[in-house]
Structure 1
Amino acid sequence: MTSLVFETDDMRPVRAWCADGEVHVALADGRVISTPLWWYPFVSGLDDKQLNDIELMYEGIWWTAVDEGISVKSMFLGIKAPGAKAPDRAA
């Protein structure tokens, strides 16, 4: 068995947006992956316009307002940014 290679042309982001408490990334191969925004505390103070001011990189995305980004690989692997804390759930 071979190991999965994450950084490929097929997994290159072609579009990214934030909505409904999640960041969504469309990949070159047609898939869309999403992760909760609370995974990335560095974007917690951004408004909708800033959340959607996203630069695409070969391996991920970058929020220009906070000079921070995430990789597609980290999204697939479920890697949260340091300090990420799940929101309290109402009982």
Structure 2
Amino acid sequence: MSTLEIDEDLIEPVAAHCTDDELVVTLADGVRLVTPLWWYPRLMQASEQERNQIELSPYGVHWPAIDEDLSVEGMLKGRKSPEAVPPAQAAE
């Protein structure tokens, strides 16, 4: 059982964008959810153009050019891709 309770009415993404280092998702209640881009290797490896092709759904974000889907719930719970490698480890 998770201790994180999520109000589904408030987690709908209304905007999303990627910086060079982060994924920023704005939720319906105005909260900005920021996660490191290295959590999502497909996004890290995507071109800027591919990262900017974003589709929002009631529960997440989709990038059709790279076939990547991320749920807001997963981001809130700190779930990263199993292939994610922290930048310090990637440099070794």
Q: After TM superposition, is the score higher than 0.5?
A: yes
- Partner in structure 1 of residue 65 of structure 2: 65
Task: Tell me the amino acid that sits aligned with residue 73 of structure 1.
Answer: E
Measure the CA separation in 2 of the matches of 1:42 and 1:51.
9
- Aligned residue pairs total 88
1:88, 1:35 → 2: CA distance? 17
Deviations 1:38-83 (A, max 9, x none): 1011223211121111110111101111111111111111111111
The ranges of structure 1 where at least 4 consecutive aligned residues each deviate by more than 3 angstroms after the TM superposition are none
State TM-score, norm by structure 2.
0.85
Gaps of 5+ in 2: none
The correspondence of residues 1-91 of structure 1 with structure 2, limited to 5 A, is 4-6=5-7, 8-88=8-88
Once superposed, what is the RMSD of the aligned Cα atoms?
Answer: 1.9
* Percent identity of equivalent pairs: 43
In terms of mean alpha carbon deviation, does 35-44 or 21-30 score higher? Answer: 35-44
In the superposition, relative to structure 1, how do residues 58 and 87 fare at CA in structure 2: closer, same or farther (>3 Å)? Answer: same
Q: Which runs of 5+ in 1 are unaligned?
A: none
